[in-house]
């Protein structure tokens, strides 16, 4: 079904694949900030209120569900699978180093490539920085399609999302926006709104739902989420993290050889342990507060509850 039979032995195939992959990534990334259901997956990457190399490691658990659609052009053109896989890894690894505040402006480089300066803008929640600088390797796409803005020294970036997560629970981090959209769709009076809520931009809500269930206005001066944790809980969390890390590495090395039931048990153990680890870092509270805004029953007992809702970064 491919249009061309491209060879992995041709250097131009590799170069063009990298450029085209990054172009597709730009539109996936941009739609991830402009379409609610895609934002629900991408939000995990923006929830950190601090900006450093660890922020790059915050990756979605559900992006694979729809993200592949944006890369179909490479398959239709005829790029070999191995070429696609390698350029995808290159594009991802490149983006690691730009998640830092330690590197300042880089002159002309900032206008051609994604850089720490223009990616700080992408992660900021300041009004002037909303929905900007989506490029993965090349920032040229933003310059071409009107989404580029320079970092302003007079308006330093503030990081996070416009509906802060306020939790260290990784399960809730991945589920919070989906849960908020489900609630808004459930409460919407019009069937059209029940559908539109998934495809409108982040922050959009049906008028009747917004009136009945108002949410607090975004406050850029909000305090950073940093609950006090005793030394005892810190030590317990560190010990648990080491155990989970070792178990996770062991699982990755043996997963393909395990029966599906054993693999599923490992996954349940690892995800549950990470949720408990997050609870320890929130002060050891394992029980949620059962309010009308509590998470679904499946999450109870695993979350230290925070108020949910579609999170909106400035990006």
Q: Residue 294: pLDDT above 80?
A: no
Residue 104 maps to a domain = yes
Q: What is the pLDDT of residues 202-223, one digit of tens each?
A: 999 999 999 999 999 989 998 9
Residue 154 maps to a domain = yes
Least confident of 31-35, 139-143, 162-166, 231-235: 231-235
Q: pTM for the full model?
A: 0.85
Q: CB–CB of 162/218 below 8 Å?
A: yes
Residue 131 maps to a domain = yes
Pairwise pLDDT comparison (218 vs 311), residue with the higher score: 218
Quick check: helix, strand or coil at residue 113?
A: strand
Dig out the tokens for 57 from the structure: 């490691």
Residue 47 maps to a domain = yes
Total number of domains in the chain: 1
pLDDT of residue 285: 55
> What rounded mean pLDDT belongs to the chain?
89
Residue 165 maps to a domain = yes
Average pLDDT for 49-75: 95
pLDDT of residue 287: 38
Residue 227 maps to a domain = no
CA distances from 152 to 43, 111, 142 (A): 24, 15, 17
Question: What residue numbers bound the domain in which 216 lies?
Answer: 1-221+308-315
Q: Residue 42: pLDDT above 50?
A: yes
Q: CB–CB of 125/55 below 8 Å?
A: no
Residue 293 maps to a domain = no
Q: How far is CA 250 from the centre of its chain?
A: 26
Residue 48 maps to a domain = yes
Q: How far is CA 285 from the centre of its chain?
A: 25
């Amino acid at each position: 079904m491919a249009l061309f039979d491209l060879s992995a032995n041709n250097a131009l195939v590799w170069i063009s694949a990298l450029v085209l992959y990054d172009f597709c990534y730009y539109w996936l990334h941009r739609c991830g900030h402009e379409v609610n259901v895609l934002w629900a997956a991408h939000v995990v990457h923006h929830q950190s209120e601090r900006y450093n190399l660890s922020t790059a490691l915050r990756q979605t658990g559900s992006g694979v569900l729809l993200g592949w659609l944006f890369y179909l052009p490479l398959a239709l053109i005829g790029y070999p699978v191995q070429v696609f896989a390698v350029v995808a890894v290159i594009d991802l690894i490149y983006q690691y180093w730009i998640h830092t505040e330690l590197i300042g402006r880089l002159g002309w480089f900032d206008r051609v490539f994604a850089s720490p300066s223009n990616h700080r803008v992408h992660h900021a929640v300041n009004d002037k920085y909303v929905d900007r600088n989506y490029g993965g390797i090349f920032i040229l796409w933003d310059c071409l399609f009107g989404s580029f803005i320079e970092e302003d020294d007079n308006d330093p970036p503030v990081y996070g999302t416009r509906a802060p997560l306020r939790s260290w629970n990784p399960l809730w981090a991945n589920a919070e926006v989906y849960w908020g959209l489900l609630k808004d769709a459930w409460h919407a009076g019009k069937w059209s709104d029940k559908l539109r809520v998934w495809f409108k931009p982040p922050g959009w809500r049906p008028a009747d739902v917004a009136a009945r269930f108002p949410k607090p206005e975004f406050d850029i001066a909000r305090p950073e989420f940093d609950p006090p944790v005793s030394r005892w809980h810190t030590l317990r969390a560190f010990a648990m993290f080491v155990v989970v890390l070792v178990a996770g590495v062991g699982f990755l090395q043996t997963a393909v050889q395990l029966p599906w039931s054993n693999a599923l048990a490992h996954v349940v153990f690892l995800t549950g342990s990470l949720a408990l680890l997050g609870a320890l870092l929130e002060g050891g509270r394992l029980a949620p507060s059962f309010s009308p805004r509590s998470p679904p029953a499946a999450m109870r007992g695993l979350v230290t509850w925070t108020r949910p809702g579609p999170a909106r970064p400035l990006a």
